[in-house]
Amino acid sequence: SNCDDDEIEVEVEDECCPVCRADWLTAVNPAPAGDMNEPLHLTCAVEGIEITADNVKWYKYNPGEEDLGLLPKHYSLSNDGLILTIKKMSDTRVGSYKCVVEKDGKTSEAEFDVSLPIKHEDLIEAKASNVAFFEGRTLTIEVEKLGGTITEIYWECNGERMENNVGRVKIRNSKSGSKLILKPAALEDQARALASLRELEPRIQRR
């Protein structure tokens, strides 16, 4: 290695070869999950060198790099520069961050991957919690939409997807919900049929 004793080789995107970086920094909480509308603190630990806040910069990147010291409305820095506070977590604050220390012509970096938990909202509900079952008669189970983005509602029974017009199954989807009709109902149908759904996409994409 061509690096000094206090440096390590790291791979850098768009660089042909590994580059030497000082091994001064550690991300104390490298993969923090924030809470919506709450503050989140990213903490960088430094070892082996004396620095001041002037040596420290924070960036949000991918795509591009934003110097967060220039965005005091959304971020604040501790006096020593080693703690970045995201003042109010939101979808736009999710992503990759890095703490960068430059001194004596050398650079050290620590990276953070900030996320928000995906909230699973109830998008449908059963119109009736109990359905009367009579073998040989028509059995109808209905769910209605509560809101949110729904691209598809489908029905499962015992883990298997049920298809419209296959066997005794009829499925009627509408703007307001979905009906599963079994005509006639057989004893095997007494196992509870479950409605499930797919959202268009997760609210928050995780890396």
Q: Work out the percent of the chain whose per-residue pLDDT is above 70.
A: 78
What are the pLDDT digits (tens) for 78-109?
A: 999 999 999 999 888 999 999 999 988 888 99
Residue 203 has pLDDT above 50, yes or no: no
* pLDDT attached to residue 158: 66
- Contacts of 193 by beta carbon, 8 Å cutoff, 6+ apart: 141, 155, 156, 157, 162, 180
Mean pLDDT confidence for 46-50: 90
* pTM value > 0.85: no
Report residue 9's pLDDT band, with 50, 70 and 90 as the boundaries.
Answer: confident
What are the pLDDT digits (tens) for 137-168?
A: 888 888 888 776 666 778 877 677 888 888 88
- Contacts of 191 by beta carbon, 8 Å cutoff, 6+ apart: 157, 158
Dist CA 79 CA 90 (whole Å)? 25
Give the pairing type, strands 7-10 and 56-61.
unpaired
Identify which has the larger pLDDT, 1 or 74.
Answer: 74
Dist CA 93 CA 112 (whole Å)? 12
Dist CA 140 CA 128 (whole Å)? 10
